[in-house]
Amino acid sequence: MKIIYCIACTCHSGGMERVLTNKANYLARHGYEIVVVTTDQRGKRPFFPLEPSIRSIDLGINYDENNGKSFLNKLLHYPVKQALHRKRLKAVLMKERPNVTVSMFNNDAGFIPGIKDGSAKLLEIHFSKFKRLQYGRKGVWKLADWWRSKQDEKTVRKFDRFVVLTEEDKAYWGNLPNIMVIPNAISGIPAGTALLANKRVIAVGRYTYQKGFERLVDAWHLLASRFPDWNLVIIGDGEERPLLEQRIHAYGLERQVTLTRPTQEIGKVYQEASILASSSRYEGLPMVLLEAQAFGLPIVAFQCKCGPKDIVSDGMNGYLVPEGDTAGMAQRLEILMKDEALRKRMGLKAKESALRFNEEVIMKKWMYTFQTLKER
CATH of the domain at 91: 3.40.50.2000
Burial class (CB in 10 A: 0-12, 13-18, 19+), 317: buried
Residue 135: its pLDDT value, please? 60
Do 363 and 311 lie in a common domain? no
Residues 53 and 151 in one domain: yes
Residues 246 and 131 in one domain: no
Residue 148: domain span? 2-185+358-374
- Both 57 and 130 in a single domain? yes
Categorize the per-residue pLDDT at 230 as very low, low, confident or very high, splitting at 50, 70 and 90.
very high
Helix (H) / strand (E) element for 276: namely strand 275-278
What is the mean predicted confidence (pLDDT) over 237-250? 97
Give the separation between CA 43 and CA 60, rounded to whole angstroms: 9
- pLDDT-based confidence at residue 132 (cuts at 50, 70, 90): low
On whether residue 190 sits in a domain, the answer given is no
Mean pLDDT of 219-224: 98
pLDDT at 239: 93
Chain-wide mean pLDDT for the chain? 94
Is residue 76 located within the same domain as residue 28?
Answer: yes
Specify the pLDDT at position 81.
97
193 occurs within a structural domain:
no
Same-domain check for residues 230 and 307: yes
Alpha-helix runs per DSSP H in the chain: 15-29, 71-96, 139-155, 167-173, 213-223, 241-251, 266-271, 287-294, 308-311, 326-338, 340-354, 359-374
Helix-helix angle 241-251:213-223, to 10 degrees: 10
Alpha-carbon distance of 376 to 371, in angstroms, equals 9
User: Is the Cβ–Cβ distance between 276 and 289 less than 8 Å?
Assistant: yes
State which amino acid sits at residue 128.
S
- With 0-12 / 13-18 / 19 or more C-beta atoms within 10 angstroms meaning exposed / middle / buried, residue 149 is middle
- Has residue 192 been placed in a domain? no
Please report the pLDDT score of residue 144 as a whole number: 75
106/223 same-domain check: no
pLDDT computed for residue 133 by the predictor: 58
Same domain flag for 218 and 121? no
Q: Is residue 60 part of a domain?
A: yes
Residue 43 pLDDT class (50, 70, 90 cuts): very high
Residue 160 domain-assigned (yes or no): yes
pLDDT at position 15 is 87
Asked if residue 365 and residue 328 are part of one domain, the reply reads no
**Nearest CA-CA partner of 55 in 46, 64, 66:** 46
Mark out the alpha helices in 175-317 (DSSP H runs).
213-223, 241-251, 266-271, 287-294, 308-311
Judge if 41 and 143 occupy the same domain.
Answer: yes
Q: Do 208 and 153 share a structural domain?
A: no
> Of the candidates 264, 260, 265, 284, which has an alpha carbon nearest to the alpha carbon of residue 201?
260
Q: How many domains does the chain have?
A: 2
195 lies in a domain? no
- Given a cut of 80, whether residue 138 has pLDDT beyond it is no
Better-predicted residue by pLDDT, 269 or 191: 269
Handedness of CA 268, 269, 273, 275 (dihedral sign): negative
Question: What is the CA 314 to chain-centroid distance, rounded?
Answer: 22
Give the whole-angstrom CA distance, residue 163 versus residue 178. 8
pTM here is: 0.85
Instruction: Give the least confident one: 26-30, 138-142, 210-214.
Output: 138-142
20 shares its domain with 121: yes
